[in-house]
Amino acid sequence: MIPIEYFLALSAILFSLGAYGALTRRNTIVVLMSIEIMLNAANINFVAFSSFFNDVRGQVFALFSIAIAAAEVAVGLAILLNLLKTRETIDLEDIHILRW
Amino acid sequence: MQSVDLAWLIPVLPLVAAVVIGLLGKKMKQGGGYIAIGASAVSFVLSLLIVVSVLDGSFDAADGIVDGVYEQSGTWISLTSTYKFEIGIYIDQLTALMLMVVSIVSTLVIIYSIAYMGDEGGRKRRYYTEISLFVGVMLGLVLANNYLEMFIFWELVGLCSYLLIGFWHHKPSAASAAKKAFIVTRVGDIMFMIGIIILFTTFKTLNFRDLFSMEVSGSDLGLLTLATFFIFGGAIGKSAQFPLHDWLPDAMEGPTTVSALIHAATMVKAGVYLVARSFPLFVQTPETLMVVAIIGGVTAFMAATMALNSPNIKRVLAYSTISQLGYMMLALGAGGYLFFSAMGSEGYTSSMFHLMNHAFFKALLFLCAGSVIHAVGTEDMRLMGGLGKTMKLTSFTMLIGALSISGIPPFSGFWSKDEVLAVVWNAGSLSWVFVLLYVLGIATAFMTAFYMFRLWFMTFKGEPGEASQHAHESPKIMTVPLVILSVFAAASFLVLFVGDGFGGTVFFEESHALQAGEMLMETFTDPLTYVSIIVAVSGLGLAYLVYYKKRISSDVFVSTQATRSLYSLLIKRYGFTAGYDAFAEKIVYGFSLIIDWIDQKVIDGIVNGISFVLATAGDYVRRIQTGHVQSYATFIIAGIAVILVLLYLLGGFR
């Protein structure tokens, strides 16, 4: 039986990597992928605690989370596609109209 | 079905007529004038039914009468279970009297208007709308069952007065007279409102029945004195009493029919009605009653002096109206003071009697003046003269009105004026002030007879003036109301001799029922009666000698330096007009300038300062917002990290 701390450490490392990627990369697709990594870090926690407490609800949540991540990627990619069409770039440095 | 159950229709019908005429009047005959006549005539019939039921005693026996008062009301605004405002009607003998007077005079005046305003063309629709609105709100004022409702109608009659004085608003004098009337009466209205607020905060109700049945004592009595004083302030404004009397002479810029209806017979009576309606409160506060009496007496005297030499026929009548209203106030003040000293309440009855008589004869006089103005096209009496030959009916009806107001027996004015003076004389035993006021009253009676007959002789007798060359009698639709009103003006005293008499019907607390014989005995055995007859006749005689026989030249009034300056003082209305203008220009305008400076520099300075600080701060802070999603996300994550660290350090995880 692998102790739960290992899972939590893995999850924390994955989350931090994802967060680093999401904050620093300029390519929007990479940012999207980093966000997926962060989501999966959370999923690992769900599954680990589910096994730790012997409670199946954690796994159910993990499945939910995966389904939502899929939907999110679909929407996110669609937005990116439109962005590419209208502004001909997906570089986050160039997309800064979200201000007054 | 009892007649009082239909009372709510009385104000509603003219109001509906006002709406109908206002919307559709253009397409109607006479701009909707016949609708206005119809509505006020139906109101008159309904009022008449109430008066009949009061007189035959069925009113006191009707359903819903408690303590001689018929009241219907509903809650309008309910603030809490104890604080609420009502809308309702309140009918007692006083209401019945006022309903009768208002509705009959309005009906006759609107009939008269058909001819008088016949040449106004498209403006007739506006005229009949406004006058119907006025009749409706005036009747509503009379019927109100609480001070708030009364105040609302009070303001509405003021609005109608403003609109109708300024009916010919293309004339600058009319427009400014309308503004003056509105603003000057507003001073009184604010006082009335203060009085209402004091009443409401002290007694938690504005309902007449609740207020009048309240036992007031201790510190509340002081507040009640203050409240009655301020309520009387409202009456001063509306009834054009000294020192707010100056708007009424200017109000004569409106059509003569408006002067007759609003500024003689009805609206200006609202102030007197207010004091009479609040009489149960006033009689508990002798200080206010003293003020009422003094203001009334001074007004009566002062206004009469100004009427002595005015060359304008309508202005003379306006001064005379102010003067007669002063009589009514004087009677209420003195009568209330007598009642406070447990010496009877005849003052109330005599004041209301004078109010009724005055409504009839003053409306008559104004309509006669209107008939004259219609014929000669000027209001200046110096250009008239000799009209008695061409306008026989008008001159005859005006003579009746003049005799009545002068107090020549047996015309109705004699009876009521005599009673008013008798009350003041009786009050003289309580305080020397009333003796002085009695002297003023007698002097006023003399002057009244003089200026009325000066007016009559100058207009109808003597050589034809330059304006009376082509004069002709007015059409029937104008003379018929004159004849009807002259019958009332001559004979309204007969109510003294019907049944219990006027005093047995309209009274406060104690009935003054007198049989006809007793009434006559009492009047004609009293030496005071002969005093008033003598002063009235001598005033008439002096006018006869000066303006008819010309035994005494009227130049005698301007022959010496002293009389000449007195003459010009009267023409200048004791300087009140100039005084008010100076007050407005210097003090009010100066004060406004100070306020303007404070507004511009201090208030705006604070506001501008705050906005400057915020705008500058914003200029710096907005640089944080770059529009880069990633920098926002960095802040979010950093923030969460800080929160987590703090939670850990502060022990939030344990």
Measure the CA–CA gap between B217 and B220, rounded to whole angstroms: 6
Phi, psi (degrees; rounded to nearest 5) at B559 = -80, -40
Q: Do the beta carbons of residue B158 and residue B165 sit within 8 Å?
A: no
**Amino acid of residue B120:** E
Q: What is the dihedral of CA B620, B623, B625, B626, to 10 degrees?
A: 170
Pairwise CB contact (< 8 Å): A23 & B634: yes
Helix, strand, coil percent values for chain A (each to nearest 5): 80, 0, 20
Cis check: omega of the bond before B14, within 30 degrees of 0: no
pLDDT above 70 as % of chain A: 97
DSSP of B436-484, one letter per residue? Answer: HHHHHHHHHHHHHHHHHHHHHHHHHSSS--GGGTT--PPPHHHHHHHHH
Measure the CA–CA gap between B236 and B268, rounded to whole angstroms: 10
Measure the CA–CA gap between B642 and B239, rounded to whole angstroms: 76
pLDDT at B145 exceeding the cut of 80: yes
Mean pLDDT of B163-184: 89
Residue of B nearest to A35 (CA): B633
Measure the CA–CA gap between B261 and B367, rounded to whole angstroms: 9
pLDDT at B153 exceeding the cut of 90: yes
Q: Which tokens in the block code for residue B246?
A: 């100056």
Count the neighbouring beta carbons within 10 Å of the beta carbon of residue B401.
Answer: 29
Query: What pLDDT, in 10s, does the model give residues B264-280?
Result: 888 899 999 999 999 88
Which pLDDT does position B614 carry in this prediction?
A: 94
Cis check: omega of the bond before B410, within 30 degrees of 0: yes
Pairwise CB contact (< 8 Å): A93 & B625: no
Count A/B contacts: CB-CB distance under 8 Å. 27
Which pLDDT does position B499 carry in this prediction?
A: 65
Phi, psi (degrees; rounded to nearest 5) at B636 = -60, -50
pLDDT at B93 exceeding the cut of 90: no
Cα–Cα separations (whole angstroms), residue B290 to B222, B242, B286: 15, 15, 6
Q: Which of A15, A30, A79, A98 to mutate to test the interface with B (most CBs of B within 10 A)?
A: A98
Measured between beta carbons, the chain B residues lying within 8 angstroms of A99 are 622, 625-627
Which pLDDT does position B138 carry in this prediction?
A: 92
Q: Which tokens in the block code for residue B226?
A: 């203050």
Of A19, A24, A99, the CB nearest to B627: A99
pLDDT at B613 exceeding the cut of 90: yes
Q: Which tokens in the block code for residue B476?
A: 């029937």
Burial class (CB in 10 A: 0-12, 13-18, 19+), B430: middle
pLDDT at B615 exceeding the cut of 90: yes
Query: What pLDDT, in 10s, does the model give residues B94-122?
Result: 888 899 899 999 999 998 888 888 887 77
Measure the CA–CA gap between B528 and B536, rounded to whole angstroms: 12
Q: Which tokens in the block code for residue B520?
A: 């006559």
What is the three-state SS of B35-97?
Answer: HHHHHHHHHHHHHHHHHHHHHCCHHHHCCCEECCEEEEEEEEEECCCCCEEEEEEEECHHHHH
Q: Which of B7, B41, B266 is nearest to B145 (CA)?
A: B7
Provide the sign of the torsion angle of the four alpha carbons B125, B131, B132, B133, taken in this order.
Answer: positive
Tell me B342's DSSP state. Answer: T
State how far residue A99 is from chain B, nearest Cα, in angstroms.
Answer: 5
Q: Which residue has the tokens 């309702």?
A: B88
Measure the CA–CA gap between B98 and B94, rounded to whole angstroms: 6
Pairwise CB contact (< 8 Å): A92 & B629: yes
Measured between beta carbons, the chain B residues lying within 8 angstroms of A24 are 630
Residue A41: pLDDT band (50, 70, 90) is very high
Of A19, A31, A96, the CB nearest to B626: A96
Q: Whole-number mean pLDDT of chain A?
A: 89
Burial class (CB in 10 A: 0-12, 13-18, 19+), A1: exposed
Q: Which of A20, A23, A27 to mutate to test the interface with B (most CBs of B within 10 A)?
A: A23
Residue B416: pLDDT band (50, 70, 90) is confident
Measure the CA–CA gap between B64 and B46, rounded to whole angstroms: 18
Going from N- to C-terminal start, the domains of chain B cover: 1-191+241-277, 285-502+514-570, 577-649
Residue B245 Cα to chain centre, angstroms: 11
Higher per-residue pLDDT: B66 or B417: B417
Residue of A nearest to B619 (CA): A100
Mean pLDDT of B477-487: 87
Tell me A4's DSSP state. Answer: H
pLDDT at B456 exceeding the cut of 70: yes
Provide the sign of the torsion angle of the four alpha carbons A18, A21, A27, A28, taken in this order.
Answer: positive
Measure the CA–CA gap between B535 and B448, rounded to whole angstroms: 10
Which pLDDT does position A34 carry in this prediction?
A: 93
Query: What pLDDT, in 10s, does the model give residues B169-179?
Result: 888 888 888 98
Q: What ipTM was estimated for this complex?
A: 0.84
Mean pLDDT of B6-13: 87
Burial class (CB in 10 A: 0-12, 13-18, 19+), B568: exposed
Mean pLDDT of B71-84: 82
Query: What pLDDT, in 10s, does the model give residues B545-570?
Result: 888 877 777 676 777 777 777 777 77
Of A23, A31, A100, the CB nearest to B622: A100
Q: How far apart are the first and last CA of chain A?
A: 54
**Amino acid of residue B618:** G
> Could you say which residues from 2 to 31 on chain A have a Cβ atom under 8 Å away from some Cβ of chain B?
19, 22-24, 31
Residue A40: pLDDT band (50, 70, 90) is very high
Coil, strand or helix at B205: coil
Count the neighbouring beta carbons within 10 Å of the beta carbon of residue B620.
Answer: 8
Q: Which residue has the tokens 């309005």?
A: B106
Residue B51: pLDDT band (50, 70, 90) is confident
Q: Whole-number mean pLDDT of chain B?
A: 86
Q: Which of B629, B636, B637, B644 to mutate to test the interface with A (most CBs of A within 10 A)?
A: B629
Phi, psi (degrees; rounded to nearest 5) at B78 = -110, 110
pLDDT at A100 exceeding the cut of 60: no
Q: Which of B192, B162, B194 is nearest to B178 (CA)?
A: B162
Which pLDDT does position B212 carry in this prediction?
A: 85
Residue B205: pLDDT band (50, 70, 90) is confident
Rounded to 10 deg, the angle between the B123-143 and B9-24 helix axes is 160
- The contact set of B with A (CB < 8 A) is 622, 625-630, 632-634, 637
pLDDT above 90 as % of chain B: 21
Q: Which tokens in the block code for residue B618?
A: 């914003």
Q: Which of B246, B225, B128, B107 is nearest to B176 (CA)?
A: B246
Backbone Cα Rg of chain B: 30
Residue of A nearest to B634 (CA): A23
Q: Do the beta carbons of residue B110 and residue B34 sit within 8 Å?
A: no
Tell me B584's DSSP state. Answer: I
A98 touches chain B (CB under 8 A): yes
Q: Do the beta carbons of residue B511 and residue B60 sit within 8 Å?
A: no
pLDDT at B468 exceeding the cut of 80: no
Phi, psi (degrees; rounded to nearest 5) at B285 = -125, 85
Measured between beta carbons, the chain B residues lying within 8 angstroms of A19 are 637
